[in-house]
Structure 1
Amino acid sequence: MENTIALRVNGRAVSVTAMADTPLLYILRNDLALNGPKYGCGLGECGACTVILDGVAARSCVIPLAGAEGREVVTLEGLGSSSAPHPVQQAFIEEQAAQCGYCMNGMIMTAKALLDRNPDPTMDEVRRALSGNLCRCGTHVEILRAVMRAARLLSSPGAQHDDQPSDRHHARPDDRIAVPADADLCGADGGERRPADR
């Protein structure tokens, strides 16, 4: 039986009529036409579907619609735009962190949630936060650099964030941080769960 469920998505009140156990990801993509969250594994293990749910990074493929009732959901579309990206998005652009781009939604949303609660993370904290987000293209170093750059951008005087994306250039593209060659990288340090590991 279908139910009408109310929630907030990217600051907007919405009501959706669907089966209560429909994955939130399907509602976001199919009913609300928000294509930031991606379908990756359908098991909550790859991170491609990550959204921010009441301030916490969450896997929308395993959250039933009823579990989002009355809550605030933020998707990639709720951060910024191509003309005025959020500082986290800007940092990922400047670090050229995307190769195929499929994992970028999850990486950016997880990074945003991390930086909201910890504006000055260590590299280890960034790796831990991103350990459940998989990137098969191998851009882990660029992703780590992007999160560290985003932390700097967000802490710079006059930085705009949350629902106020900035349209100014924050940093030079060649302004890089060093990541040790032997560093454990997100998704490559054993933090990911593989079916054989269960």
Structure 2
Amino acid sequence: MESLHPLKYISQTFEMPLAQVATELGVKRQTVNEWVGKRRRTIPDKHVSKLASIFNLDEKWFRMQNLEASEKLELQRIHVDRNATFIEYEDVFVDEEGIAHDVTSYYSPEQELSNHLYHLQNAQKVIEEVTRIIGIETDAHESYNQDIFRKVMSVINSNNHKKVRMLRDMLDYLAYRDHEFGFMTFEDDNLKTKYDDLINYYEKK
């Protein structure tokens, strides 16, 4: 099943018919059809910048030929956030001295949906990245990454909280140890020393 062209998906998500898009661009509807149809002709730069202005989106969206599922969720979330409504209500704030203050707060009914889309988007990104990494291993003898993911899932599915915590701490250490902006705090300094010794062992091999 052929996926929707990004422009067509955006027009549907942001509720602007392609006929209106053509009018806004000053081109024929047939021209737009050639961009989003089976031929998928590249959208000229002069129209890319105008489309970005019309939809108030980054130009990257209109240079794509296909959308990942996570990207579709991101576009949905952008649309929800833009059309969010806010309800004003009176609330009470208690300061550090225990004194209550009347404050005006705001609530958006769409916030829950936006948060849901955000978590779905992040989960889908993980799925896409894992699929990409595993997909590289096309040879039957090349299953190194598959084996790693399989073992990680085995630990998680074991429901052994101590093992899961150990796995998480080790992964955090490996992910943030050399990261420019990364940091990790240890409740036990001896644990960090053991991790450092372990990483030094593998770096010398």
Which category describes the TM-score, using the shorter chain as reference length? under 0.3
Greater fraction of residues in helix = 2
Q: Which has the higher contact order (CA 8 A, sep 6+)?
A: 1
TM norm structure 2: 0.25
**Structure ID, larger Rg:** 2
TM norm structure 1: 0.26
Greater fraction of residues in strand = 1
